[in-house]
Amino acid sequence: MSFSAYTKDELARIEGLPSCCRLAELAALVKLNGRLVRGPGELLVTTGNAAIARKVFKALKTQFKLAARVEIRRKSRLKKNNEYLVRIGHQDGLGPALVEMGLCTVSLRVRPGLKRDLVGRECCRRSCLRGAFLARGSVSSPRGAYHLEIAVGDERLAADLSGLMRKVGLEGRFSPRKRGWVVYLKGGEQVADALKLMGAHAALLDFENTRVYKDMRNRVNRLVNCDTANLGKTVSAGMRQEGHIRLVVQRLGLESLSPPLRQVARLRLQYPEVSLRELGELALPPLSKSCVNHRLRRLEHIAGQILGSKTRN
C-alpha cells in the first residue's frame, strides 16, 4: 500500500464529527469527485477507495437522510482495481442538499468554487481540507521528496483551496497542470503540518519517523564526506611538507636547523600522515597547532629558497 493510500485509509475512518465538520468534509468530497446527471436530478460520487465510498454513503444518510446505493465496477484502464460509485437518485431533499453543500445555487445552477459559509470555523476548514484530500489528494512517500497535492478541475476551486490552506497556517500554492489545476504543499514541515491538521496521526508518526531517519542518514553522510575530504587535505599537506623537509635535510643537514625547527622536522618525517594538532601532541613538550604550523611554514620557506637558488644556478 502506498503512503497516499495508507493516509487516505486512516482519514476515511475518522468518525464522530460535529454536523458542521461532517458537512464541510462531505461538501469537499462531493465537489471534487461528484457530478450531476439529468440536470440536478441525480448525483454520482466516484472513488477508488472502499472506505471513502462508505464514508460518503454514511454521511449523506446521516446529514441529509438521503438514500444512496454503492456500485462496484472495474476501471477501464487499470482492470485490476475497483472503482466505487455512490449513486444518489432523484428524491425529495436532494436539491436542498446540493444547495447546502455548495454544488448548486438556489436556482439549481452549478456553483463554482467552495461555499464560504461551510468553512467559517477553524474545525470546518480542517474537515474541508481533509475531504478535498480524500477526493483528489496524494502525498509522496517520506523516503523521497516531501510533496502533497490536490488535483482540481478549475482555477476558481484551486484558488479557494489554496486560500483555505493559508487560513489554517499552510503555504498552499496552485498551478495549472494538463487539463486542470493542482494545489500543492512542499517541504517536510508543511506536509507534516497538513497531516496533523487533517487528523492523520498514524501517518504523521510514520512520516516523522522516516524523516528523522532520512535526515540523520544524510547528516552522517555529510560528516563522512567532510571527514574524508579533510583527511585527503591533511595527507596531501603532510606529503608536501615531508618533501620540503627532505630537501632541506639533503642540502643543509638536519643539524643545521634550530632545535625548534629540528624537532618539528623529525616529527613530520616520522608521521607524514597526521594532522597539525596530532603532530603537536606528539612533541615533548606538546605544541599548539598554530606553533606547529608556524614552524612548518618556516621549513617550507627554507626549502623554497633552496629551490630558488637551484633554479638560478
What residues in the chain have per-residue pLDDT under 50? none
Residue whose C-alpha cell is 617550507:
300
Position 255 scores a pLDDT of 84
Q: Is the N-terminal amide bond of 142 cis, ω within 30° of 0?
A: no
d(CA 201, CA 143): 18
- pLDDT value for 312: 52
Distance CA 112, CA 127 (A): 19
Q: Which domains are assigned to the chain?
A: 3-199 (3.10.28.10), 215-312 (no CATH)
At residue 1, the pLDDT reads 79
At 80 the pLDDT is 63
DSSP output for 255-306: GGS-HHHHHHHHHHHH-TTS-HHHHHHHSSS---HHHHHHHHHHHHHHHHHH
Secondary structure of 169-215 in HEC code, one letter for each residue: CCCCEEEEECCEEEEEEECHHHHHHHHHHHCCHHHHHHHHHHHHHHH
